[in-house]
Structure 1
């Protein structure tokens, strides 16, 4: 009832029955589902709750989750091995319900069920940690507008391969990178590697609507993520495809997405791409350029380009430069000088990123050490912590005082490497180290 998933897991670990009935006599999984509480639903199903138990009204907890239109909630309630565990008849019932919502539309279906006139109320909400969704309310009922994502997730769980064109049509109405429907479709398409499926996906590169091209870039990002997650870097064909696409994509937003995936790989053409787009009018593109230059060693033209971007009018470009300048960690006089300049940037995020790059670098010059020590006068506590860390790893005698000046950090910093560096500093020096 309190939506405390950790407490639920603790009860389950202590032997509580995952199908315990709630005050209404229904399994507590129904309580979690009705509250859009995907974390508790996940805890219960992971603990053995039966998401397919038939309830007095003929529904099941899983069917209720599908009805509510939250991909996160459905994913949590599906449980393990749904393709094997759920009967064929139940699969068809779930799929039919999701399709009905997709074809009717959330507002219209709520109007049909409640008889309420007028427009539905809509508000953006977070579906899970990584995705957003729209909540739709009318006549006292509330659902989430994620039924296209729910249908896509169910099909993937049940091994159903809908046409690529149908999946694309489900995604394009919600082109937000974090939208739950967009995310479900791009993830499902990332698994489609047959020649026919890839041919249809690759054709999106030349689609006149940039939303379709953005979807393709997201699919390629998801494919790369899955390959890295499963330690199967089998995306060589994708890299060459991205390399060619990066040279002729006309839309700035799409190009930024393409470069975001492309720079996650190592490819000899990236430096030329960086030179091509260092002056691009869209700052989203320029923010990707520094990542094209992360090579060891950096060529002289690459360093020149990077240093020019350190003065970019867009603060996020300067932020990325502050990150890349410290790669590798051996700083040259030019990169040191520019990082010290970025340490005085008017944007707080840029200063923090520059401080992080300097403190973690192998540079032990007095200029860097003193610049870090000067940060202890900053109001920003994270800047002071970064300064203390930089002094600690350099065995500077001001380290103890520096950590005192950081002040209390509160919860969330227990395992922070910058905090533990203080302990290592004291251990080294007690042991007679430098």
Structure 2
């Protein structure tokens, strides 16, 4: 039964909605109940949970709110499920720590884990599994979380579920709502689902599904968002410019299929894996990285020969994939002196490809692959691409050069100094980090680092200041003081600057920097 809230309860819910922690504390101390409900039958804890207010959730729990109490007009809403559905990982952790049952089902049979899986919130999935959630407990339709993650196309979520043993137990186990499927069958079913989606157009499937549910007469809007190693397709229906319904799905089904095949011991041919990566066309996505990882793990002569053949193919994407595989094979056997070491055999092929690489995907892949060999002798082939028109290639040049500049090599230092002034912030940051890490101290290196102490990118400025601090250059002092005071308190720049202080000589400057507090505090 839902009662009209009292004024005190009204104030409590207004404070929760407004994210006003201090007001919530005052109201609780004044006698407001942490178990109060609003006119919709929702508890303050549920509202704080779906609003992603972890601090407020902890306040309410401390004041006696029951993490297991269902609420809502039909009494079917659980705080843990509400938090999981929104991907509010810190709230999920707080509720689990307070005793929320990780596998309890709310209305329509959803568990918190299933909500997080179907929404693609991998961090939340991990938190739930760490908190004791059953990785095999099926959703309301009897489908396993692994199959739902495969349908979603989230390789990251599938990876997390597998790491927590999803589908690994062949025995059938029961819960209050029926039986779990056996492990191998669960993984095979998830693989079949991933392969099925490989044959479909995700955008068309989502659009057709919405139109079947809502009928014709709507405007369709499609957005594509890069996240979590894959592209997420978002389809919305609009009427008179206002959203009516929407659905989204990731597109990492090739990566999911590759992961599950490896788990099931299925040896997928090189050509199939190469075709999956080429279809994706983006070395930054899981659909590319997973095939490379599988072939790296396979690490045999057949894989080496197939990768060499790819490097000689006409298709730039095939060349890039071959370079990526060779880079990983060489990295695997770097420092191994044997006839089976791939490093010595891979480097000549990569050198030759570097000299004729023009397309950004090929140049970027071969630069990264050469850098993975850990051999300073390949540095000239890496640096030949430092003026490439594609910023992504220049970024890889900077990163691949890290650790390879030996003895303050003048030509290499000059190339990195040139990159440290690049218009692209990520290129500058990589080049400055590479210069800072050179195991040498020359006027040229110091000058290049000093030129970036006031870089508009805080991380780049911090890398430069740290590089000078290691060399005990007095110019680092003012830069470190500025970063320690002005950078985000929990950001990379401030952490790097705080660590760099220890390299300065003992004295007043060092003591002052060690006591410097940030001026800005996170909200």
TM class, shorter-length: 0.7 to 0.9
CA distance in 2, matches of 1:11, 1:313: 46
Question: Does the alignment pair 1:369 with 2:474?
Answer: yes
1:104 to 200, 205, 215: 200
1:2 to 64, 83, 86: 83
- How many residues of Structure 1 are paired with residues of Structure 2 in the alignment? 401
Q: 1:67 to 1:319 in 2, by over 3 A?
A: closer
TM-score of the pair, normalised by structure 1: 0.73
**Which deviates more, 169-178 or 269-278?**
269-278
Trace 1:57-136 onto structure 2 (pairs within 5 A).
57-78=141-162, 79-80=164-165, 82=167, 85=170, 86-110=182-206, 113=209, 115=212, 121-125=221-225, 127-128=227-228, 131-136=229-234
**Which deviates more, 377-386 or 119-128?**
377-386
Trace 1:241-320 onto structure 2 (pairs within 5 A).
241-273=349-381, 276-277=384-385, 285=393, 288=397, 291=401, 294-303=404-413, 319-320=429-430
Whether the 8 Å contact between 1:149 and 1:184 is mirrored in structure 2 is yes
CA distance in 2, matches of 1:33, 1:308: 46
TM-score of the pair, normalised by structure 2: 0.63
Aligned to 1:423: none
**Which deviates more, 70-79 or 384-393?**
384-393
CA distance in 2, matches of 1:275, 1:154: 38
* 3-state SS of paired residue (1:65): helix
Aligned to 1:420: none
CA distance in 2, matches of 1:279, 1:26: 54
Q: 1:371 to 1:179 in 2, by over 3 A?
A: closer
Trace 1:397-408 onto structure 2 (pairs within 5 A).
397-402=508-513, 407-408=518-519
Q: Which has the higher contact order (CA 8 A, sep 6+)?
A: 1
Aligned to 1:143: 249
CA distance in 1, matches of 2:191, 2:120: 20
Aligned to 2:239: none
* 3-state SS of paired residue (1:270): helix
Aligned to 2:307: 201
Aligned to 1:429: none
Whether the 8 Å contact between 2:407 and 2:439 is mirrored in structure 1 is no
In the alignment, structure 2 segments of 5+ residues that lack a partner are: 1-81, 171-181, 237-244, 335-339, 488-492
In the alignment, structure 1 segments of 5+ residues that lack a partner are: 413-434
* 3-state SS of paired residue (1:208): coil
Q: 1:346 to 1:88 in 2, by over 3 A?
A: closer
Aligned to 1:324: 434
Which structure's CA Rg is the greater one? 2
- Deviation of residue 206 (structure 1)? 1.8
Aligned to 2:43: none
Whether the 8 Å contact between 2:224 and 2:233 is mirrored in structure 1 is yes
**Which deviates more, 314-323 or 95-104?**
314-323
CA RMSD of aligned residues (A): 4.2
CA distance in 1, matches of 2:372, 2:235: 41
**Which deviates more, 16-25 or 387-396?**
387-396
Question: Does the alignment pair 1:27 with 2:111?
Answer: yes
- Deviation of residue 358 (structure 1)? 0.9
| Cα deviation code 1:320-341 (max 9, x no counterpart) | 4433333445522333234333
CA distance in 2, matches of 1:120, 1:224: 48
Whether the 8 Å contact between 1:136 and 1:145 is mirrored in structure 2 is no
CA distance in 1, matches of 2:184, 2:515: 64
CA distance in 2, matches of 1:31, 1:10: 17
CA distance in 2, matches of 1:142, 1:314: 32
Q: 1:384 to 1:396 in 2, by over 3 A?
A: farther
| Cα deviation code 1:343-396 (max 9, x no counterpart) | 36677665443223112x223xxxx31563377578982489978876662234
Whether the 8 Å contact between 2:154 and 2:230 is mirrored in structure 1 is no
CA distance in 1, matches of 2:246, 2:453: 53
Q: 1:225 to 1:80 in 2, by over 3 A?
A: farther
- Deviation of residue 205 (structure 1)? 0.8
